[in-house]
């Protein structure tokens, strides 16, 4: 029996785990791991030590977080996607981003065929394919949306393996996209000359940092507006899904968030990013509680299959991104950042453009990542349903 049984005590420990994960993520040797994965690991440890309930005796609190907090967190995150601002990303960035999206979708389908679908990942293989399509289209919020829709969040070991693999790929791909442009420029020079003043560079960096800043000043009215908007949207999505069962609830919620995000009043709301990130961390903490560490350690085959899967899907994405982009005579730096917008999302795009010393690509990369957040769930559901119909005999 778990040491803590009262929902309030369990919730308090989950909050403590989030705080510990945030502090650990600031350490140089754990920064690459990230808060999200650390939250899962720390909560998995506390659950397996018997401090809080695990999946076998999950309390109603966990189901409440899965049912309400998790989908609302995705809704809040998508409220930050202003599609009107995409024109500032520029046509080359947007076009090459979509080339990368097609490469991701093709790569996932081919990789799933290679690993054998249900033989490699079990009955939820199609959902795993959708999750990786979503996250490699624009970020982990898409992975979470697909996981919630298909119930992968309750298959703790599969979900944890997917999160860990995604983090590994994002870190490795940062290195690849950093090294590729200078290597390719050596043989096929394509870097566009940029001559920005110090003032222009400072302005570009300030705009980019504002796009991904997770520190905001909020007041009670801001929180009331946000919470009211979130619960109303979730209730509305549930009503639509009940009236038209063929439409997934998460798709209704995603579409509603994107529509609202284009309204000037919604764009001025404060605290959206902070609240969404907090809700995501709380959701991931419960995912950790569902992880059976003994089974995860023993199931080395799952981890090996997942690594094999991404070692096929991501290179195919790269072949599309750099192959077609190269034929179109695109700037290698731009192609790398467009690829990073797919695989890693907005924050890693900014880190890459800074490393490549391309302040002119700071904002375009972040906006491409935002576009990925907007369409990733749709792409993931499309690929998942296609995989569902495939024959793996």
- What pLDDT is stored for residue 206 in this prediction? 61
Q: Enter the tokens of residue 344.
A: 């890693």
pLDDT of residue 214: 62
Query: What is the pLDDT of the chain when averaged over all its residues?
Result: 85
Using only C-alpha atoms, the chain has a radius of gyration, in whole angstroms, of 21
| Nearest of 105, 100, 97 to residue 368 by alpha carbon | 97
Residue 293 belongs to domain spanning: 67-389
Q: Band of the pLDDT at 215, cuts 50, 70, 90? A: low
Residues 6 or more apart whose CB falls under 8 angstroms from that of 326 comprise 184, 188, 190, 335
DSSP 125-168: HHHHHHHHHHHHHH-HHHHHHHHHHHTGGGSHHHHHHHHHHHHH
Task: Please indicate, yes or no, if residue 212 is contained in any of the structural domains.
Answer: yes
Inter-axis angle of helices 156-187 and 346-355, nearest 10 = 30
Contact 89, 338 (CB under 8 A): no
For 3-30, the pLDDT digits (tens) are 788 999 999 999 999 999 999 988 887 8
Nearest to 178 by CA among 309, 374, 344: 344
pLDDT digits over 309-361, tens only? 999 999 999 999 999 998 988 989 999 999 999 998 777 777 788 778 787 78
Q: Does the residue 367 lie in any domain?
A: yes
Look at residue 101 and tell me if it is in a domain.
yes
Q: Which residues contact 294 (CB under 8 A, 6 or more apart)?
A: 48
Contact 309, 126 (CB under 8 A): no
Domain contains 286: yes
φ and ψ at residue 392, rounded to 5 degrees: -115, 20
Minimal CA–CA distance to 174: which of 367, 342, 324? 342
- Residue 299: the pLDDT is 60
- pLDDT at res. 189: 81
Instruction: Establish if 49 belongs to a structural domain.
Output: no
pLDDT tens digit string along 192-211?
655 555 665 566 566 555 55
Total count of domains within the chain:
1
Asked if the structure places residue 363 within a domain, the reply is yes
> Does any domain span residue 15?
no
Rounded average pLDDT over 291-313? 77
Which residues have a Cβ under 8 Å from the Cβ of 119 and sit 6 or more positions away?
A: 392
pLDDT digits (tens, 9 = 90+) for 40-50: 889 988 988 88
Of 288, 53, 281, nearest to 164 (Cα)?
A: 288
Cα gap 94→338, rounded to integer Å: 8
**Domain assignment present for 20:** no
């Amino acid at each position: 029996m778990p040491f803590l049984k009262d929902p309030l005590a369990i919730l308090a420990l989950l909050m403590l785990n989030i705080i510990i994960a945030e502090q650990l993520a600031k350490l140089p040797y754990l920064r690459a791991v990230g808060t999200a994965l650390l939250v899962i690991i720390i909560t998995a440890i506390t659950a397996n030590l018997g401090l809080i309930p695990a999946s076998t005796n999950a309390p109603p609190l966990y189901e409440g977080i899965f049912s309400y907090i998790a989908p609302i967190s995705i809704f809040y995150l998508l409220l930050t996607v202003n599609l009107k601002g995409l024109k500032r990303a520029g046509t080359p960035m947007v076009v090459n981003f979509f080339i990368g999206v097609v490469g991701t979708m093709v790569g996932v389908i081919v990789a799933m065929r290679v690993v054998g679908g249900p033989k490699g990942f079990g009955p939820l293989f199609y959902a795993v394919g959708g999750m990786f399509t979503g996250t490699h289209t624009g970020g982990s919020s898409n992975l979470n949306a697909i996981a919630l829709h298909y119930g992968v969040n309750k298959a703790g070991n599969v979900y944890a393996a997917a999160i860990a693999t995604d983090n590994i790929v994002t870190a490795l791909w940062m290195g690849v996209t950093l090294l590729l442009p200078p290597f390719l420029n050596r043989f096929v020079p394509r870097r566009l000359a940029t001559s920005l003043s110090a003032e222009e560079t400072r302005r570009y960096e300030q705009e980019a940092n504002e796009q991904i800043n997770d520190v905001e000043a909020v007041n009670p009215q801001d929180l009331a507006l946000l919470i009211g908007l979130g619960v109303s949207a979730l209730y509305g999505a549930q009503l639509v899904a009940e009236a038209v069962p063929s439409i997934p609830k998460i798709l209704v919620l995603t579409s509603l968030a994107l529509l609202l995000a284009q309204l000037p009043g919604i764009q001025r709301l404060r605290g959206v990013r902070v609240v969404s990130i907090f809700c995501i961390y709380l959701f991931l903490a419960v995912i950790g509680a569902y992880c059976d560490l003994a089974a995860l350690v023993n199931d080395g085959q799952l981890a090996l299959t997942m690594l094999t899967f991404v070692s096929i899907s991501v290179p195919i994405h790269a072949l599309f991104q750099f192959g077609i982009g190269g034929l179109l005579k695109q700037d290698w730096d731009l192609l790398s950042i467009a690829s990073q917008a797919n695989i890693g999302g907005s924050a890693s795009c900014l880190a890459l453009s800074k490393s490549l010393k391309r302040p002119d690509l700071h904002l375009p990369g972040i906006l491409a990542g935002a576009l990925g957040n907007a369409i990733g769930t749709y792409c993931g559901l499309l690929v998942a349903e296609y995989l569902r119909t495939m024959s793996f005999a």
